Structure 1
């Protein structure tokens, strides 16, 4: 999420950001409202007055910090039908969204059994990305630019490849790889294109 100076944030925003920070580090169950209030610089009564319960606080945090990307503006309206160029834009969009919401994304993995609604909320963007990619690969096949393949399988392969980098980076840090995101996108997209692109005989 984007860090903002406390001077420009409302009481609710400060409490929400503090709650997400603590819940992502410790898990929902382990964090108390008293701890959230103290860390945010307010009384527990202030927290209850604004949110009522810890569950309500979590629900508001997920709702507030799970923004939807305008896929039409970013992807559909800018499509070039150049496989490498378009896939790089998809990959960059995916990582931009995940980086903005990384604490909520990681929290959804931690709480997937006890609070599945978090995963349902943040899955909207990946679902839209998959739909875009499926349609895109089918259109590229019609244009003779992509080999015959299962469009949905390749869309999921592309998303899983990017998800793997995101998870490895946030769970393992640089212990897994020192490769910068820009280099990963360039290398992975180049290789993916080599597997799908129709080559001239």
Structure 2
């Protein structure tokens, strides 16, 4: 038997879906309530406003980053490890597409939105720095590599790919996940040895 969703979960799921389809501005509280199957007054009893809904999604996704990090098992080979990180992150972006898309579409217009969403790649950067520092200590990564810059570059590489996959599909810019990991991530990792 499927588990029944709470009112909060229904509202957050509806909000997430509408963000993907319409962006932040066009996703009204009326549309959210309707998609969640609740009254608008019920929505406001659970969440103060759309900003609070974004905060809740960010917190949920931050928790999912911790879960993904806990599922990462280092192999001792930088190429395999960074390929695994790219696969995990791509799946994470696909699962949580709404926040990444509004980060691209709407964060310039809404600075508070940008402040909330930037937490996601910053958390990933912190995790990568920690992982890469361990890899550097074990000799998996060259001792001359600056892990702070390398983590930022790696996030740019994998986040850029994920966003292009979702925004510019069918343009020739969208490289399959397999080709991306096998070629770009492999080359990036080889450079770090």
Question: The TM-score by the shorter chain falls in which range?
Answer: 0.7 to 0.9
- How big is each residue's C-alpha offset from its partner over 1:123-173, in whole Å with a ceiling of 9 and x where there is no partner? 343222331354145325xx3863744333333322221112101101112
Note the aligned Cα RMSD (angstroms): 2.8
* 174, 186, 189: which one aligns with 2:185: 189
* Counterpart in the other structure of 2:166: 170
CA contact (8 A) 2:93 2:100 kept: yes
Report the TM-score when normalising by structure 1: 0.76
2:14 alignment partner in structure 1:
18
For residues 191 and 73 of structure 1, do their structure 2 counterparts lie closer, same or farther at Cα, with a shift above 3 Å needed?
same
Match of 2:120 in 1: 122
Q: Which residue of 2 aligns with 1:132?
A: 130
Larger Cα-atom Rg: 1
Q: Which residue of 1 aligns with 2:41?
A: 45
- Tell me the distance in 1 between the aligned counterparts of 2:91 and 2:62: 13
Which of 99, 104, 112 pairs up with 1:109? 104
1:147-166 map, 5 Å: 148-166=144-162
In the superposition, relative to structure 1, how do residues 195 and 10 fare at CA in structure 2: closer, same or farther (>3 Å)? Answer: same
Structure 2, unmatched stretches of 5+, are none
What residue number does 2:87 align with? 92
Quote the Cα distance in structure 2 between the aligned partners of 1:28 and 1:12.
Answer: 19
Query: Number of matched residues?
Result: 188
Runs (4+) off by over 6 Å = none
The 3 A distance-change label for structure 1 pair 63 and 145 is closer
Distance 2:179 2:189 in 1: 15
Of structures 1 and 2, the one with the larger relative CO (CA 8 A, separation 6+) is 2
Q: Which moved more, 1:22-31 or 1:144-153?
A: 144-153
Q: Distance in 2 between matches of 1:27 and 1:144?
A: 42
CA spacing shift, 1:46–1:89, aligned 2, 3 Å: same
Q: Name the CA shift for 1:159/1:28 in 2 (closer, same or farther; >3 Å).
A: closer
1:79 Cα deviation from its structure 2 partner: 2.5
Deviation at 1:194, TM superposition (A): 3.6
Instruction: Check 1:64–1:84 CA distance in 2 against 1; reply closer, same or farther (3 A cut).
Output: closer
**CA shift in 2, pair 1:124/1:150, >3 Å:** closer
Q: Show structure 1 runs of 5+ residues with no match.
A: none
> What's the CA shift string for 1:53-107, capped at 9, x where partnerless?
33333332332344232576444xx333222222222222222322222211222
2:66 — aligned with what?
Answer: 69
